[in-house]
Structure 1
Amino acid sequence: MDDNKVVIGGSLVEALKGNYQLSLRQVLEQSFNVTKSNLLPLIGGFLILLGINVLMVVVLMNVFSVEAIQASMKIQFFSSILQTVISAPLLGGLMLMGIKHSVGIQTKTADVFNGFNVMMPLITVAVISTLLSVIASVILGLLHPNLGILASLYITVILALAMPLVVERGTSPLNAVYYSIKIVHFKLPKFILLFLILLGLLFLAILPFGLGLIWMLPMIYNLIGVVYRDIIGVTVIESSKKDHSSENISA
């Protein structure tokens, strides 16, 4: 490693062996604290993501009628894949912002577009995730609707680290998917519990007219950053080991 590069947090090599800790209480507390000082950039990033998705829906509704969309599984599947492709680089940008926040690096709203630097790998991972989720939920859903929901939950959880690996470490899509599955499985019950806690917090955030989402959505991406930092580690560049004001992420 270059002299001016340091890894903050965990280690990918050790994580792939299962040698890491995941404290849900510490992760939630740290994510809350990080969000207090890094709220506005992520809100701006979400507004950009929301605006682009709304535009996509408007375009689709002008091309297909609402009735046609509701009646056709093919159109719904096409819409899902299109949304995945369009959103992937922006979601990657939000994840990178959360990763930066986890190591004390400030961001700005425009950083949401940094995911376009690795656009195709992010899209590839997102499409793989979507296809796996759809296929698993459909197949198991034929046995019982609840099994389809559980399958979708399972795929979401085990691939949680794939996009962060691509956007921060530059890992290839297939390796990122493999690494994420392997790492998460070492502590799968904790990851599932964390995911369920987030779902519960999102539900509570929606209750006051959705106003809680202003806090909760940015916190989720800061939480992803904290988990990623603690398990895999974040490589930063610093011009001086004694002066961390010049730190920047090395991706």
Structure 2
Amino acid sequence: MSQQEYNNALHIGGSVETALNGRYRLDPFEIIKEAFSQTFKHFWSFLPATLCLFAAQIGILMLMLTLLLGAPSHLFEALVGQRELTTDMISSVWLANFTSEVLIAPLYAGASLMGLSHAIGFRSKPRHLLKGLVFALPVTVVICLSATLQSVASMIFPLLSLYVAMAFSMSPLLICEKRLTPVKALTVSFRAVNKKLFQMATIYAVVGVLFLISFATAGFALVWALPFLFNVKGVIYREMFGVGVEVTVSQNENKEGASHSTTNSSSPDQDTFDA
């Protein structure tokens, strides 16, 4: 029995060129609808990964607050009026939050890749959260730059930081999927997002409402909001920049030539997508 393999590259969705020219379709209703569908379909396989990501960020945040304030409870006491809220506390909270965002960057990239997998029809597993570790350095750099720019923007006008976060939201996936450098990824994300700014703002407004509901339900709704966020990012990225997928077709040929069988490794029900 001999085996022959044929590799074919497929491209799903838009491209960097069309994204930068604004020649891509971004319907907020369709994006939200598809993201909800993907979240429902992959809920139980995606939830453990997003909860691990959330737990890692909260853990780092609490550790930093402990190191900077002595105990996180000091901050909570200040928020309820039992202790004075000082500028040192505010600075400590900013530093703790900044540190947690930067340190979980590889895991954030992994969750983003999982959402992208769902957007092109592939399944994911909780362990795929670690796929972002391959891009740890460039993703950490881009998250650090983005977080810094958000901080500067918030000093100018608080809502401006939300715009900056949205404008650079595609940069981690551009690093992982297109292999762009951090600065190039930030630039491309910024330019592409601004071509469809109203549509992007509408989509992220819906995501923001879900997170507000999460706070109102003491965090319970996060079990849906977190997977939904990354599925939204995956669908948006596919429509903006497209995704390159390599398809391997294996053909098994009988020595007597009696039978042939062809298998395609790109079946949506198989776990075959790699960034």
Q: TM-score, normalised by structure 1?
A: 0.87
Counting only pairs closer than 5 Å after superposition, residues 1-251 of structure 1 correspond to structure 2 as 3-64=7-68, 65-66=70-71, 67=74, 71-72=87-88, 73-138=90-155, 140=156, 148-240=157-249, 243=264, 244-245=266-267, 248-251=272-275
Measure the CA separation in 2 of the matches of 1:208 and 1:38: 23
Measure the CA separation in 2 of the matches of 1:131 and 1:230: 28
Measure the CA separation in 2 of the matches of 1:5 and 1:14: 19
Measure the CA separation in 1 of the matches of 2:197 and 2:13: 20
Q: Which amino acid aligns with 2:191?
A: K
Measure the CA separation in 2 of the matches of 1:51 and 1:107: 20
Deviations 1:167-212 (A, max 9, x none): 2222110000000011011111211121112112322344444332
- Cα distance, 1:242–1:228 mapped onto 2, change above 3 Å: farther
Deviations 1:88-142 (A, max 9, x none): 111111100000010111111011111110001111111111110111111x2xx
Measure the CA separation in 2 of the matches of 1:208 and 1:152: 25
Measure the CA separation in 1 of the matches of 2:226 and 2:238: 19
Q: CA deviation at 1:149?
A: 2.2
Residues 31, 223 of structure 1: 8 Å contact kept? yes
Deviations 1:22-79 (A, max 9, x none): 1011101111111121112321112222332233234334423245996425533432
- Cα distance, 1:17–1:104 mapped onto 2, change above 3 Å: same
Which ranges in structure 1 are unaligned for 5 or more consecutive residues? 141-147
From the two aligned structures, give the one with the greater strand fraction. 2
- Cα distance, 1:104–1:165 mapped onto 2, change above 3 Å: same
Q: TM-score, normalised by structure 2?
A: 0.80
Identity across aligned pairs (percent)?
25
SS at match of 2:47: helix
Q: Which amino acid aligns with 2:45?
A: P
Query: What count of residue pairs does the alignment treat as equivalent?
Result: 242
From the two aligned structures, give the one with the greater helix fraction. 1
Partner of residue 252, structure 2: none
Which ranges in structure 2 are unaligned for 5 or more consecutive residues? 1-5, 76-84, 250-261
SS at match of 1:149: coil
RMSD between superposed Cα atoms in Å: 2.3
Measure the CA separation in 2 of the matches of 1:198 and 1:112: 21
Residues 94, 221 of structure 1: 8 Å contact kept? yes
Larger Rg computed on CA atoms? 2
Residues 9, 233 of structure 1: 8 Å contact kept? yes
Measure the CA separation in 2 of the matches of 1:155 and 1:16: 17
